[in-house]
Structure 1
């Protein structure tokens, strides 16, 4: 997915840019308009007309996964846990069965639960693995996020465009817009 963040002075230029992209039949997967963290009175009074079919999702800066590393980390942790928890249970069960260790029996647990408790320990290990492995973030994206947060705090609107990977960003249309800055972001 090709993603770019366009820094704009107001809501109206974002609306006009999306209309131009729509007229040019640019295939847009997702279009999010992020209100400034320091919101101006002008931006609250200007509403998009619901009769027009503009596909802008208006959102808060901290509610977008691309701009909020905490949300992205939680999402990655849930995805990893779906795979690692069951595999951890199977690995713990298999390990207990193969080695025939009496770890839990020596601690006073019934001998029949030895393999099941080994599976539970493996499951907990899988969950911990998903938690810690989801914590990494790309430093380049982190620098871009700081710059985007600073722009948002200064009162600028952010328009996030996601296009299919095979589609080149419409640079001519983007440069014609009244934008201050265009930042491309690699998600992977």
Structure 2
């Protein structure tokens, strides 16, 4: 999937671009319009009739996972936890049963709970693994996000287009609008 962040001075060109993309039948997976962080610009467009709104999503900079690494990290942690916690429990239970160690019995726990406590320890390690392995992002993405955030803080609108794999961006339409810059991000 290719992601293009188009930086615009106002909301109107973004709206016109999306209408042109729909006329050209360009397949779009997701389209987000992100309002500026300073909230001072584009006052005349804030009074537009919302019934003719063409954007699926118009939101704040900090609510977009692509632009906010903390949101993306929490999402990765949840996804990893759904897999690692149950597998950690099964692995801990299996290890306790295969080795027949008396680790918890030596600590004063009943012998019957040995395997169950081994499973719980495995489950805890799965939770810790999901927390620590969901961490960082590449430095290249961090640099791009800094530049995008700076533009948003300067009062520019951001139009985020996600296109399917194998679909070339309609560069003629993208270059035809009054954009300041187009930043292409690749999503793995």
Deviations 1:50-82 (A, max 9, x none): 443613411000000000000000000000011
Partner of 1:21: 21
- Which deviates further from its counterpart, 19-28 or 3-12? 19-28
1:143 partnered with 2:143? yes
Partner of 1:186: 186
Partner of 1:11: 11
> How far apart are the structure 1 equivalents of 2:22 and 2:47?
19
User: Where do 5+ consecutive residues of structure 2 fail to align?
Assistant: none
Q: How many residues align?
A: 188
1:153 partnered with 2:160? no
> How far apart are the structure 2 equivalents of 1:77 and 1:41?
36
Deviation at 1:13, TM superposition (A): 1.2
| Contact 2:93–2:119 (Cα < 8 Å) also in 1 | yes
- Which deviates further from its counterpart, 73-82 or 14-23? 14-23
> How far apart are the structure 2 equivalents of 1:165 and 1:20?
21
> How far apart are the structure 1 equivalents of 2:148 and 2:110?
57
1:164 partnered with 2:164? yes
* Other structure's SS at 2:167 match: coil
Deviation at 1:17, TM superposition (A): 1.1
Tell me the TM-score normalized by structure 1: 0.95
| Contact 1:32–1:59 (Cα < 8 Å) also in 2 | yes
RMSD of aligned Cα (Å) = 1.4
> How far apart are the structure 2 equivalents of 1:153 and 1:50?
25
> How far apart are the structure 1 equivalents of 2:180 and 2:47?
22
User: Where do 5+ consecutive residues of structure 1 fail to align?
Assistant: none
Partner of 1:75: 75
Tell me the TM-score normalized by structure 2: 0.95
> How far apart are the structure 2 equivalents of 1:42 and 1:98?
67
* Other structure's SS at 1:46 match: helix
Deviation at 1:45, TM superposition (A): 4.9
| Contact 1:11–1:43 (Cα < 8 Å) also in 2 | no
